[in-house]
Structure 1
Amino acid sequence: MRTVRFSICKSVKTPAQMQPCTPELLNAAFDNQLVSNTCREIATNLQKVKEGTLTRDAFETLKSELKAQNLPVVCFHANFTDGYRHNESAVPSGLSIYDVDHLTIDPRTYYNNKVAGREAELQIPLAHISPSNEGVRLVFVMPKGMSLAEAQQWMADQLGDETYDGKVKDMARCSFIVCRDYLLHYDEEMLFAEREVDVPENSVTTGTARPLVACYQRDARNETTVLPPSADDETAVFEDNFLGVSYPQIVHAMEELLGGVPAQGARNNFIFAMACHLRYVCNDDPRWIAQVMPRYGEEEAKFISTVRSACNRPQTKTVPDLVNRAIEMARKQQQVDELIQQNGINAPKPPVMPQKLTKFMRLITKNVPEHLKPSVAMSVFPSLGAHCKGVKFRYNDNALVEPTFMNVNVAEMSSGKSAVNKPIDAIMADIKEQDTKNRKLMQEYKEQYDACPADEQKPERPKGLAVQWVKSDMTPAAFVQLMADAGGRFLYTRMDEIGMLNQLKTNGKGNNVTEILRLAYDCGEYGQERVGTKSVSECVEVRWNWNASTTPGKCRRFFADSMLDGTLSRMSFCTIYTDDDRMPLYGIYDDKYTKQVQEMVAQLNNAKGLVVCKKANALIAEMLEENRQYSALADDDVYRELSYRATLSAFKRGMVLYIMNGQKWSKEIEEFVRWSFHYDMWCKMWIFGEKMRRAMDLDKAALVPGRRNLMEFLADDFTLDDLNTVRRAQGMRGDGQAQLRKWLQRGYCTFNPATQQYTKSQQFLSKHQKQAA
């Protein structure tokens, strides 16, 4: 009779790091972003299998890799006295797991039909969808006196299941953790309740566990290496790192040092050489080597045979130089990767879009492939904002702001940037229809005006003929007139290339269109005064939302002179990232789709006046504090400057979705607001980060009135480090060694090799004696 708990570990690859599970550890795992992203990626690839664009074998391989690399594991059956996940040290917890895999129906349907409402009766504290998204896992309290196998059969009888995962589970069997969205039932109090456990003698399966560093077995007759029957046996105990360096990093480094991944025809020799080197970091264990080493397209039987041959080959005990170099390369790369992981802004991939979206976002992105959804989601807001007239939001600083959006889609050629056009067309359908009518009336007026004899009264210009969807090729006078005709509505423009903004010149002077862009974001005043009777003399508040597309290089060149004038921080950026070079498959955009979009857009047309959402402001307050702390810790001026308006833009996006959701705040809106901020910031830092840092450095250097005598800031005895500290304080770059050499040559100081100190010379002190304060 014992009182125990179950155990948890960060990875299936680290079975020697099991620890007692607490509610805090388990909840943190459920809410971990990497776990959520992994579950979503597996679900996305499962959908590809259903669509016929991914084979089942490829999916199973990908799923196994993602689970092993990214998901923590829980052993609900037991805790382990020595921290190792093996039967010898297992202390039963009194819990068991029941798996139903490869369901042909939705896992939620299975749960609702067979389990929902019976959790207390069946003593089920936890139920969730499996990571594969094709099954259900139940964690339940074992009936007293039963073994694991008997308890599973009991649960199958209670649910009326003829088939289930009936493999005998030993105490070391672990389960992958899933994201909170996959939870079907969670009774934390029952799960972590202390319970008296009466363990029958046959409850623990024996004979399957292996020691921590399992040596390979040799047949006594022929000395051939015997590998285990299953390459993915979860009870095999191997570390996932060598002296803190992960095996995937070591393998990748060895691949480079051995000349790269082998081509067909050279695989066998390459695998043999790789296995020979991996013996030094895998305890000379072929099973361990087989676990960490890729197959390189080789057949499994031939791969295993090659690994065996490598392990039977006599070799020196001295670690080869290539292995040491590979470990060092891998260690350095791992350090870089860890830094990148800690700072999401510099991550190699943009932040993953939330899996759960609002009803409108699901609709507007449903017809594009997964990798295009982020760019579509970000690009639709300028057209959505164009439907708001007289709508204002109160920001956290009490300023009233309007839904002003300027979005630039930055991606390589032929990457699918045009995928945003159809969704925007559906959003703008009502405005386009009204514009067509008003353009016709305006054309009739122009014809009447031109046909009117000079001696007759000219017809007056019609009032209220607003045309909102306008071209980028317009004069400042036309721009002002269109703005005045709009009567407080937004103008909207879509451009296939960012350079088309140059078609709108201000006052006929070069490319200073960025002045209007800054005014557009702030709804600032713009206009012109003319004396001619036919000239346009108006002063308007600029309300102009627009979309543009370009490539990264063109984007940087276009805004090269606008790094520090506030233009970039007012815009939102998106990109298209994918490793899949297959032709994308789009859904169908028809009248039904447009009608569905228009029904939701109507809520923006109907909104008026001040719209307030306290939960949105509370979220922004949290984000502002998070950004402030991050900027301080990272000491990144560029991030800090860009984050202010990026947070404001995220707030506006959230408020637009709030209106379209019937002015009801939701978890989906909150997650989208956070994601859109980090996504926008990632894109800005990726495109402009380094250029803005250089521009800021030059801008600060221009404020330095002149260099001072650095000796004045140093004690009579000083070191190179002291000088470098002074140089940095004065805004100087680089090391001070060259400067010290000049000082020594000119007799300003002397050097003592024993103390590694420099001393100001009498010559210097006599000429540059410091005056007392």
Structure 2
Amino acid sequence: MILERLMFTCIGKGHGAPCLPANREDWEKLRREPWLKEMCERIERGDEQLKHRLPVWTPHCAEFKNNHRAIADAVRPLNRLMLDFDEKGHTDEICARLLEQSPLVPLLIEESVRRGTHVLVELPDGMTAEQAQQLMQEATGFEPDAAVKDVSRCIYMVPEDHTKYVSDKLFEVSEDCERKSQPTSDEGCEQKSLPTSEAAQEPHTELMFKGIPYTSIIAEWWHRNGGEPAEGERNVKLHKLAVSLRAICDNKKEVLMQVMPRFGLSDVELRSVVDSACKETPKGISKMMQGIVSALEMGISSDEIEDAEAVRAETGVKVNVKALPMGLKESLTGVPVSMHMPVLCGVLPIAAAYADQVMVEYCDGNLQHLGLMSIIRGEQASNKSVVKNAIDVWKRQFDEEDALARKREEEWKERKKGRKANEKAPDDPKVLIRMVPVTVSCSTLLKRFKNAQGHTLYSFGEELDTLRKTNGAGSWSSKYDIYRLSFDKGEWGQDYNSDAAESGVVKVAYNWTMLGTNGALRKCFKSDNIENGLSSRILVAEMPDSSFSKMPKFGRRSAGDEAMIQEAVTRLRAFSGLIDTPRLRKAIEQWVEQKRVEAAKDIDHVKDTYRKRAAVIGFRCGVVFHLLSMGARNLKSQTSNLKESKACIDFALMMAEYCLSQQIKAFGEALQNQYVDAHEECQRYGANHSVFDQLAPTFTLDDLRALKCGYCSESAMRMIISRWMRDGWISKTDRYHWSKVKVNSEK
């Protein structure tokens, strides 16, 4: 409740963006941003298109349901009123008059982007907005905007130097400040004239298209078409908007009448615009509108939809940010679309480490814990730090707890070191430390495992090459064993005669995330160790190629975003016991079987090897998604009646597909070179067609040998023939010939 009272407004990244609860620190920090000051200066110089990119805040409401800024979704409306004085250059005069004598308590006086004046006042109980406006007009000598604004109203953020007066009461939202009743009908009345202030207007009807509010679609349309109409272009722009919207309104005039913004038009005038737009021959949804809808469905900016399509073409996946649960969604705040997968792959291991008391049943019937390891690879200066920034937020709870534990351990070491010769050594406190450096020695790591109390340890390494260099041959080999065993919580240990070295056998539960260059990855996984099984247990993600590309633009997570990540961490830590995921098991089982069929047809040993654990990794990622999606009701009961959502299943399959493709891309060549000559391997991967489909309806072993270009051994080919027969794909016609009985790929 105390935290809730600190949130006095909601802040959004733009007019149509979600508005998240914010406190004084968030509000003041944003107003001090250099880029905000620069944007406002450019707008003042005439760059009107920038206005719709300004962040917004809500003076009349401190919280909206699902962060959706609408009258119907107002959760904590406030007894406050923002007044707009459109006349430019009078802010200092208005401020002086109100500070000398004001009929209402002023909370904020600021100069707007266009040099008008914003005045936020407390609205006494029983006083209407119209009455307050009349009082303020008499007190200032200037007429405020006649339109009465509703509870969902937002205004554009301005730099700190635009502030003329701010009261501490602005940031104090007591119960008395909150409205005791629903907004009156007056608060939703239509605007009588075209507004000239930068106060954002919003239609009242919250109709949806594919689950997206039309208000959000319209806001994005303004964004792509030069912003909201200025004086003199209202009817033309509204007509163009109506023409674009009718395709997603089934060309229904009554729907358009509800969703169209009015900008001062009467019903008769708006009806005329709608009638004119609907007379034109329908041409289907435009490319621009399709892009807007696609972007909003994915939860990204419409400017990024082309980047998202490019990422899908390159990697085969496209992240639906809107469908992500708490924690994962906020991890992608401010992250360019091309880097969404690396960031997700980076944070999933630490998210899984927090849920270390959870067990799940896999498709094969065995119980598993959520063991995940990831490597984010990319050339130098490829912005891998974007992953670190997300993990820094996720690991805060680990860091805070470990700091106390390490302090206790250091105090114990000092007491032990300073004791007298005949004095008994103090007892080892056996502290729980869960964040260990990637360069930790095997002996110290064993000690941490012994004191882990059943918890999973976690490491984050910024340089994979540092890890490789700081581990000698013997130590590196031991680390390989530890990493492999940690995937399924296997046993590992060591025995030494000396008391100075740690001895014992433990269950290994160890997740980690590492960043590194492609060269460092190649040095860690060479031909002599590629078959030891570690490569198939790692979730690999590749940073986008930054060669000759423009500098990417990053955003910042708000305090609200970071609070949501901490809430996600708390939620994951609260779960324990067996979590049943039958729908997820079924989906992953079907996926891994599909990949088996593909690998068998291609005689692709690499895909067949990596598909199995890629399925496990995708499954575990899906479980993390499911846990974050479960509500407080399920959290308390520890047994969920909430089945895995379609979004959860889609996410798990996406992660499995991405994991498989990235493992093959990163390690496939080295693994295949264990079977065939490197030159032949390059030729094979260049073609990569289905060998089974290329065979004639009746074929011989020589035909198969010719397609495999001689790099498949005789025994391997006979084994493939045997499996095809076992699966019912072929039948033997005579000693040397086989015939296809199943020539399609459906299985």
Match in the other structure for 1:426: 393
Q: What's the CA shift for 1:490?
A: 1.4
Shift of 1:408: 0.5
Please name the residue that 1:575 is paired with: 542
Residue 411 of structure 1: CA displacement? 1.2
Task: Tell me the alpha carbon deviations over residues 502-549 of structure 1, each in whole angstroms, 9 at most, x when there is no partner.
Answer: 367599456453222111112111111223334322111111111111
Q: Distance in 2 between matches of 1:508 and 1:142?
A: 73
Residue 368 of structure 2 corresponds to residue 401 of structure 1? yes
Corresponding position: 1:643 with 2:611: yes
Equivalent residue, structure 2, for 1:291: none
The partner residue of 1:521 within 464, 471, 487 is 487
Q: For the Cα contact (< 8 Å) 1:476–1:504, is it kept in 2? A: no
1:609 aligns with 2:577: yes
Task: Give the whole-Å Cα distance in 1 for the aligned partners of 2:251 and 2:513.
Answer: 57
Partner secondary structure for residue 573 of structure 1: strand
Give the structure 1 partner of residue 467 of structure 2: 501
1:646 Cα deviation from its structure 2 partner: 0.7
Does residue 654 (structure 1) correspond to residue 622 (structure 2)? The answer is yes
- Partner AA of 1:599 in structure 2: E
1:474 aligned partner:
440
Distance change (3 Å), C-alpha of 1:661 and 1:139: closer
What is the CA-CA distance between 1:349 and the residue it aligns to?
4.1
Kept after mapping to 2: 8 A contact 1:350/1:683: no
Q: Give the AA of the match of 2:445.
A: F
Deviation at 1:347, TM superposition (A): 6.1
Is residue 382–residue 545 contact of structure 1 (8 Å, CA) maintained in 2? yes
Local SS of the residue matching 1:398: coil
Q: Kindly indicate whether residue 497 of structure 2 is the aligned counterpart of residue 535 of structure 1.
A: no
1:589, distance to aligned residue in structure 2 (A): 4.4
Q: Note the C-alpha offset of 1:618.
A: 2.3
The equivalences for 1:43-122 within 5 A come to 112=205
Q: What is the SS of the residue equivalent to 2:466?
A: helix
Task: Provide the rounded CA distance (Å) in 2 between the counterparts of 1:574 and 1:563.
Answer: 18
Hey, what does 2:663 align to over in structure 1?
A: 684
Pair 1:161–1:366, CA change in 2 (3 A): farther
Residues 631 and 639 of structure 1 are in contact (CA less than 8 Å); yes or no, is this contact kept in structure 2?
Answer: yes
Which of 146, 159, 166 is residue 277 of structure 2 equivalent to?
166
Distance in 1, matches of 2:701 and 2:503, equals: 62
1:463-509 deviations in whole A, cap 9, x for unaligned? 3x111111122221111001111121111111112233336759945
- State the one-letter code of the partner of 2:271: G
Q: Is the Cα contact below 8 Å between 1:620 and 1:651 reproduced in 2? A: yes
CA distance in 1, matches of 2:587, 2:501: 48
SS in 2 for 1:488: coil
Instruction: Provide the C-alpha distance between the structure 2 equivalents of 1:629 and 1:345, rounded to a whole number of angstroms.
Output: 27
TM superposition shift of 1:128:
13
Q: Residue 613 of structure 1: CA displacement?
A: 1.7
Q: TM-score if structure 1 supplies the norm length? A: 0.50
* Cross-structure match for 2:599: 631
After superposition, the C-alpha distances for 1:323-372 in whole angstroms (9 at most, x for unaligned) are xxxxxxxxxxxxxxxxxx9xx99964452222533232221111222222
Indicate the structure (1 or 2) with the bigger Cα radius of gyration: 1
2:320 equivalent in structure 1: 354
Amino acid at match of 1:394: E
CA–CA separation in structure 1 for the residues paired with 2:386 and 2:365 = 37
Closer, same or farther in 2 for the Cα pair 1:129/1:448, shift >3 Å? closer
Choose from 510, 516, 524 the match for 1:550.
516
Q: Which runs of 5+ in 1 are unaligned?
A: 1-42, 45-50, 58-103, 117-125, 144-155, 184-340, 702-720, 735-773
Partners of 1:602 and 1:654 lie apart in 2 by: 18
For the 8 Å contact 1:504–1:513, the answer to whether it is kept is: no
Aligned to 1:449: 416
Offset at residue 140 of structure 1 (A): 4.7
Instruction: Give 1:615 deviation, angstroms.
Output: 2.0
Equivalent pairs: percent with the same residue?
21
Task: Kindly report which structure 2 residues correspond to 1:668-679, keeping only aligned pairs within 5 A, or say none.
Answer: 668-679=647-658
Aligned partner of 2:365: which letter? N
Deviations 1:586-632 (A, max 9, x none): 33346554332111111111111111122221221232233223323
C-alpha contact (below 8 Å) 2:446/2:506 kept by paired residues: yes
Partner SS for 1:513: helix
Change in 2 beyond 3 A, CA 1:158/1:604: same
- Distance in 2, matches of 1:371 and 1:381, equals 18
How far the C-alpha of 1:110 sits from its partner, in A, is: 6.2
Q: Look up the match of 1:367.
A: 334
Q: Which runs of 5+ in 2 are unaligned?
A: 1-15, 18-38, 50-195, 223-243, 254-266, 295-308, 631-639, 681-698, 713-747
- Is the 8 Å Cα contact of residues 505 and 512 (structure 1) preserved in structure 2? no
Q: Distance in 1 between matches of 2:346 and 2:421?
A: 49
1:599 equivalent in alignment to 2:567: yes
Structure 2 letter corresponding to 1:581: S
The answer to whether the 8 Å contact 1:651/1:673 transfers is: yes
Q: What one-letter code is carried by the residue in structure 1 that aligns with 2:668?
A: G
Structure 1 position 722, deviation (Å): 8.3
Identify if the C-alpha distance between structure 1 residues 633 and 693 changes in structure 2 by more than 3 Å, giving closer, same or farther: same
The 2-side partners of 1:656 and 1:529 are apart by 36
Please state whether the residue corresponding to 1:530 is helix, strand or coil.
coil
Corresponding letter in the other structure for 1:472: V
State the shift of 1:582 in Å. 2.8
Distance in 1, matches of 2:542 and 2:48, equals: 30
1:94 matched residue in structure 2: none
Amino acid at match of 1:529: D
Paired residues of 1:368 and 1:587 also in contact (CA < 8 A): yes
Q: Does 1:585 align with 2:553?
A: yes
CA distance in structure 1 between the aligned counterparts of 2:701 and 2:660, rounded to whole angstroms: 37
Alignment partner, residue 485 of structure 1: 451
Distance 1:165 1:690 in 2: 62
Helix, strand or coil at the partner of 2:530: coil
How far apart, CA to CA, are the structure 1 residues paired with 2:319 and 2:348?
A: 16
Residue number in structure 1 paired with 2:710: 732
